Amino acid sequence: MTVRRGRVTKAQRRALDHLLPKYDFFAQPFAQLAPLGVEIGFGMGEALAQWGAQAPDWNLLGIEIYPSGVGALINRLEEQELGNVRVAHEPAETVLEEYIPPDSVQEFRILFPDPWPKKRHTKRRLLQQGFVRKLAERLVSNGELYVATDWSPYAEWALEQLSAEPMLENLADGFSVRDDRRVVTKFEARGKRLGHDIYDLRFRRRPET
């Protein structure tokens, strides 16, 4: 998978051209030693910016392949003067594999991942078994993996994928209640407009693994 193209507004382009170096995970180390939270596929960045404001004593990394989303997030970070968030404009598989060491992440969030509803596209879904193992290995002991989706077949499938990973333990009996710490993202709002239910999944890394 490669970084994608897509329509980028003037403000987003300006952010990408002039401000990315300031927030670039690969170039700009975090200013504090702190727990690490990672959001994968942050879209327009509304939930990540909110997380950054709620948790100033955490370091947060956002991973996204759409340039418009990266530009939008950077503009939010500038506006809100959030210095604890960095962005990796690369596919999550690469970032995890090459830049995130095992036992280093306090919490992963994956909000409304692309559902790839067609059967022949199932293999494109992010939460494949191998990727789930990579996430689990990178969590610290008791660190959390939080997933939300509005697509019920994906929710069932994700529950199966995560439950099948021995390093992970479900924090609920099946789906979790909605976590009100997060804002309604663009894709959650879209799901609701379409009359979809929202499913939250919360797992943690078993301490003995």
Ligand X SMILES: C[S@@+](CC[C@H](N)C(=O)[O-])C[C@H]1O[C@@H](n2cnc3c(N)ncnc32)[C@H](O)[C@@H]1O
Structure tokens that stand for 129 in this block: 């078994």
Q: What's the rounded Cα separation, in Å, for the pair 50 and 15?
A: 19
The nearer residue to ligand X, 169 or 200, going by C-beta atoms, is 200
Q: How many residues bind ligand X (CB under 6 A)?
A: 22
- Stretch binding ligand X (CB under 6 A), from 7-15, 37-45, 51-59, 134-142: 37-45
Q: Does residue 63 touch ligand X according to CB under 6 A?
A: yes
Cα–Cα separations (whole angstroms), residue 89 to 86, 134, 179: 10, 19, 27
The nearer residue to ligand X, 114 or 156, going by C-beta atoms, is 114
* Of 8, 15, 25, 42, the one binding ligand X by CB under 6 A: 42
Please say if 114 is a catalytic residue: yes
Residues 69 and 43: beta-carbon distance below 8 Å: yes
* Of 25, 37, 58, 64, the one binding ligand X by CB under 6 A: 64
Q: Does residue 3 touch ligand X according to CB under 6 A?
A: no
The nearer residue to ligand X, 147 or 159, going by C-beta atoms, is 147
The nearer residue to ligand X, 59 or 185, going by C-beta atoms, is 185
The nearer residue to ligand X, 78 or 97, going by C-beta atoms, is 97
Q: Write the DSSP symbol of residue 133.
A: H
CB of 135 to ligand X, least distance (A): 12
Q: What's the rounded Cα separation, in Å, for the pair 104 and 95?
A: 13
17 Cβ contact partners less than 8 Å away, ≥ 6 residues apart: none
Burial of 191 (0-12, 13-18, 19+ CB in 10 A): buried
Q: Does residue 66 touch ligand X according to CB under 6 A?
A: yes
CB of 68 to ligand X, least distance (A): 9
Which residue is catalytic, options 114, 173, 179, 200?
Answer: 114
Residue given tokens 């994968």 in the structure block: 40
Q: Does residue 72 touch ligand X according to CB under 6 A?
A: no
Question: Looking only at residues 89 through 148 of this chain, which bind ligand X when binding is defined by CB under 6 A?
Answer: 91-93, 111-114, 126
Given its phi and psi angles, is residue 85 left (phi above 0), alpha (psi -120 to 50 degrees) or beta?
beta
- Among 114, 127, 111, 125, smallest CA distance to 188 is for 111
- Residues annotated as catalytic (active site), given as ranges: 114
Contacting positions for ligand X (CB under 6 A): 1, 40-43, 63-66, 69, 91-93, 111-114, 126, 185-188
